[in-house]
Chains A and B, each alone.
Chain A
Amino acid sequence: MIAEAIRRGALADYAERFTTLYETAGSSVSIRELPFLAQLNLRVDAGDTAVMGQVTDYLGFSLPLTPNTASQAGDRRALWLGPDEWLIVGPDDQATSLEQALRGGLGGAVGSVVDVSANRTVLEIRGSKGHDLLAHGVPIDLDPGAFGPGCCAQTLLAKAQVIIERRDEAPAFQLYIRSSFASYVADWLLDAARAL
């Protein structure tokens, strides 16, 4: 309980500023932190169909093989990070169960499972102008035609390395930001939002 009470999101101090943005910009753009998501880095040989099948069985859905796409089932999702690397994301309380599932899927095969939940926090940018806001600092095309539902990408946002994901048809992006860069990125986003 004590650990619960002192746990803070990397951007807990920004909640008020995000609220102020919402009050001025309304539904056109809003930012909120989705802290404490369970995040696991999985390395496994995508060419080993037996192991990939086992991982699918233990995880409950298959890993995306197309670069820069994500797959999901319920509240669990898998983001393509490389030809043999994925980020598995789930709710706060699932880090341990996800790790066990992935280790079970890996069996004795060559690979690795690492809990990286504390590495990144997640910001959700929502609203009709969310795309314009990110376009100020992202070198890739985030237009729905090029970056539709189920797409993800590792790129730079104002020089900070981020993973960007669009989960569904809604005008919303999830930004996975390294905790030590989080306040810089949040400041940058709030500043850029003033120019919208």
Chain B
Amino acid sequence: MLIPCPWCGDREDIEFKYGGAAQIAYPANPDSADDAAWARYVFFRPNPKGKMAERWVHSAGCRRWFNLVRDTVTHEITPTPAAEERR
């Protein structure tokens, strides 16, 4: 399986490590967030059958983290705008 590093281009998946779900928003008001809000931020993750926004790191290559959208059934990776993926 080839994974598109936003810097290096397509590379074999053995060069990467998985970083879980992307777009997990930090509590907007951390001082006033209650236990339930913290639990939701720390422990709750999406587990869709289909497209999922994910974090990956090109650990054996340029060692940069990036975002991509992968289909958990087909492994098909949807192109992401550069400004979105290079974060």
- Whether a CB of chain B sits under 8 angstroms from the CB of A81 is yes
Which of chain B's residues 31-63 have a Cβ closer than 8 Å to chain A?
Answer: 60-63
Determine whether the beta carbon of B60 is less than 8 Å from that of A68.
Answer: no
Chain A 35-68 against B: per-residue CB contact (8 Å), 1 yes, 0 no?
0000000000000000000000000000000011
Which of chain A's residues 76-130 have a Cβ closer than 8 Å to chain B?
Answer: 81-83, 85
* B55 CB to nearest A CB, Å: 17
Which of chain B's residues 69-87 have a Cβ closer than 8 Å to chain A?
Answer: 86
* B18 CB to nearest A CB, Å: 16
A-B contact count (CB 8 A): 36
Determine whether the beta carbon of A153 is less than 8 Å from that of B61.
Answer: yes
* Contact partners of A68 in chain B: CB under 8 A: 8
* Contact partners of B7 in chain A: CB under 8 A: 67, 82-83
Question: What's the Cα separation between A53 and B86 when bound, in Å?
Answer: 24
* Contact partners of B64 in chain A: CB under 8 A: 82-83
Question: What's the Cα separation between A83 and B58 when bound, in Å?
Answer: 13
Question: What's the Cα separation between A153 and B12 when bound, in Å?
Answer: 13
* Contact partners of B24 in chain A: CB under 8 A: none
- Whether a CB of chain B sits under 8 angstroms from the CB of A139 is yes
